[in-house]
């Protein structure tokens, strides 16, 4: 495999040796853009600026991203099941912890990891009590966020 190909099968083409003719050195390569299915992250945050930042960060890291500015779609099960939920605690008219409890109480989503993001003091205990798999206090570093997401999916 050429050295310039990275291990990130989501952004680079992965090359496989397919065929060589005995009468000379002729290589036929097949490129596969998406060897594996992208992992999907569902984000709920009511701040459009934060939504844009999360979307940019995760798409550049090779994830598929769905962003919701409210929790009503989640409570009504009007979403495609992701590999991970990233929930803001403070949503307009909703509490991200209640969303977490709802998701952990549903048979179809109870095993999907949930990360709560918040600037709320004591978020560690609140997230744990709600059933979240992890939490991240604002402000945080992009590397910290990506490392935590990679840990769960």
Domain boundaries, the chain: 1-36, 40-152
The residue that leads in pLDDT, 8 or 58, is 58
pTM for the whole thing? Answer: 0.75
* Cβ atoms 82, 66 nearer than 8 A: yes
- The pLDDT of 88-115, averaged and rounded, is 94
User: CA torsion angle for 113, 119, 124, 130 (degrees, to 10)?
Assistant: -50
Strands 40-44 and 64-68: parallel
> Is 40-152 a CATH 3.40.50.880 domain?
no
The rounded mean pLDDT for the chain is: 82
Give per-residue pLDDT as tens, 43-98. Answer: 999 899 999 999 999 999 999 999 999 989 999 999 999 999 999 998 888 899 99
pLDDT at 121: 87
| Measured CA distances, 44 to 13, 19, 76 (Å) | 31, 47, 14
């Amino acid at each position: 495999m050429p050295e310039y190909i990275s291990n990130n099968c989501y952004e680079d083409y992965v090359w496989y040796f397919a065929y060589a003719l005995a009468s000379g050195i002729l290589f036929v390569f097949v490129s596969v853009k998406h060897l594996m299915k992208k992992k999907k992250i569902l984000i709920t945050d009511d701040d459009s600026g934060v939504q844009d930042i999360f979307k940019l960060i995760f798409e550049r890291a090779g994830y598929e991203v769905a962003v919701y500015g409210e929790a009503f779609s989640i409570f009504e099960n009007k979403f495609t099941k992701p590999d991970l939920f990233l929930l803001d605690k403070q949503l307009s008219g909703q509490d991200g912890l209640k969303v977490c409890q709802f998701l952990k109480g549903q048979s179809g989503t109870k095993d999907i990891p949930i990360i709560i993001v918040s600037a709320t003091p004591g978020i560690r205990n609140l997230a744990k009590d709600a059933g979240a798999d992890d939490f991240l206090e604002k402000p945080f570093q992009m590397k910290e966020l990506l490392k935590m997401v990679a840990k769960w999916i």
